[in-house]
Amino acid sequence: MHLYYSLTSPYARVVRVAVLEKGLADRVRMHVVDPWADDPELMRVSPLMRVPALLTDDRSVLTESLLIVHYLEETVPDPALIPAARRSAILSRAGQAFGIIDAAVHTVLGRRFAGDQFDASPMGERRRRAIVNALEYLERSSPTEAGPVLNLSAIVTAVALDYLQLRFPDLAWTESCPRLAAWREQLQQRPSLIETMPPSS
């Protein structure tokens, strides 16, 4: 398998962490590409020109981070990122955290293409509210335990929190969400998260 990704994409990071947690590193060849530069390597693989994109061993191109995780989970069930016993709770929490990533990326793109006034626009404010509300929800509900393998909700939550830390330092989520901050702190030494940490610039 071949995974096309960028170092800063939170969507691609979800897949990269999933690959590492499932112990698939030696089965996936990694390709760093720039999705914003009409990168020929990426364009050859996916007409959408977005990361992540996974080229499977039977030459199918998979896009959409969660579909790629689904494929990995079905192809290599063990270790499970979505154990059946807690499926609905894990997917529910993963969905809220994924929504944070979506709202945050939408805001970053809004700033890039419409300027800093995007944050004060009705759409910018709505996205900010979604981030704050979903953070409150994750803070209130019981945090995902850090077991021997990170489950999908832990992966998406950690990626979302780190992305906020990087792109929205003014949000100061560690102060408003102390339980989440303590939970993330516990995962400080997790190799899959360390290895995929986005560069700060």
Ligand X SMILES: N[C@@H](CCC(=O)N[C@@H](CS)C(=O)NCC(=O)O)C(=O)O
Binding site for ligand X (CB under 6 A): 9, 11, 35-36, 49-52, 64-65, 105
**Complex with ligand X: residue 36 or 195, whichever CB lies closer:** 36
Please work out, in degrees rounded to the nearest 5, the angle formed at the alpha carbon of residue 132 by the alpha carbons of 183 and 192. Answer: 35
Backbone phi, psi, residue 15, to 5°: -70, -40
Which residue in the block uniquely carries the two structure tokens 């998406």?
A: 156
CB of 33 to ligand X, least distance (A): 9
Nearer Cβ to ligand X (4/183):
4
Nearer to ligand X, 63 or 144 (CB): 63
How far is it, in rounded angstroms, from Cα 67 to Cα 70? 5
> Which residue, 194, 196, 183, is CA-closest to 140?
183
User: Residue 14 CB, nearest distance to ligand X (Å)?
Assistant: 8
Q: How far is the CB of 94 from ligand X (least distance, A)?
A: 12
- Complex with ligand X: residue 91 or 146, whichever CB lies closer: 91
The Cα-based distances of 84 to 21, 72, 78, 91, 150 in angstroms read 17, 15, 12, 11, 14
Nearest distance in Å: CB 168, ligand X? 15
